[in-house]
Amino acid sequence: MRILVCISQVPDTSTKIVLKNNNTSVNSDGVTWVINPYDEWYALIKAIELKESGIATDVHLVTVGKADVEPVIRKALALGGDEAVRIDADSNDPYETAHYIAEYAAGVGYDLILCGKESIDYNNGTTSAMLAELLGVDYIGSATGIQVEADAAVVTREIEGGEETDICNLPVVISCQKGVAEARIPNMRGIMAARTRPLKVITPSKVRAVTEVISYELPPAKAGIKLVSPDNLDELIELLHTEAKVI
């Protein structure tokens, strides 16, 4: 069984975001880039677990981006990916991204495609579902557990008020979230091997994006801390009601 894991590059959550060009783009100078946590901690690690258990034979990685994303995809290789592909395009449109990945994946043929449930930069959570539609395969979202039995995937996912278990024939696209796998740290051997491993670069066909970013807006600055005497519970309750609006 061959698995494809979709990897995206996102800013580290500790990075201070600075806008430019009249708030229409993000200044990348000084930004620390990382693998999207949902892609790394859950989708990729689950794929590696399936390979270690003997269910999968190969774990391939794919990302959409220019040359600056290569350190991120190499970290994914260090964690345990076998091969990596960079689709040479720059896009923040989920349909455009899904189209590029589908175009590549259709020519290879994968039994299982794993994605994080969303990226932590745009939080669209739609690329994986679009990818399944473009490939003409089934899709299961927000998985918290995945088992592969024969030619089918048994997937546990959260629903409002509980969980449900679905079974779906392969091939299938699954988006992953917390619970699917336990996070890992790459070892030195994997890091050194990933530095020299070939990285395939593909030039995609042109496709028209269906969305565009008009502008960005930073969140309002946090208000200062207000101290309340432990003897003045009436003031505390009033502030929680009128300012914090939590009661």
Pairing between β-strand 58-64 and β-strand 19-20 as defined by DSSP bridges = unpaired
Extract the tokens encoding 153: 């995937």
Rounded average pLDDT over 15-28 = 86
Q: Is the pLDDT of residue 239 over 80?
A: yes
CA 133, distance to chain mean position in Å, is 18
* Residue closest to 41 by CA, chosen among 115, 133, 103: 115
Cα separation, 138 vs 24, whole angstroms = 36
Quick one: pLDDT at residue 175?
96
According to DSSP, the residues that pair with 138 across neighbouring strands are 172
CATH class of domain segment(s) 2-219: alpha beta
The reported pTM is: 0.85
**pLDDT tens, 52-95?**
999 999 999 999 999 999 999 998 998 888 999 999 998 889 99
Cα separation, 169 vs 222, whole angstroms = 49
- For the chain, the residue count is 247
Considering just the CA atoms, what is the radius of gyration of the chain in Å? Answer: 21
Amino acid identity, position 66: K
Pairing between β-strand 172-176 and β-strand 112-116 as defined by DSSP bridges = parallel
Residue in this structure with the two tokens 């000084």, named with its chain if needed? 30
Quick one: pLDDT at residue 199?
87
Residue in this structure with the two tokens 């679009």, named with its chain if needed? 130
Q: How confident is the model at residue 135 (pLDDT cuts 50, 70, 90)?
A: very high
Q: Is the pLDDT of residue 8 over 80?
A: yes
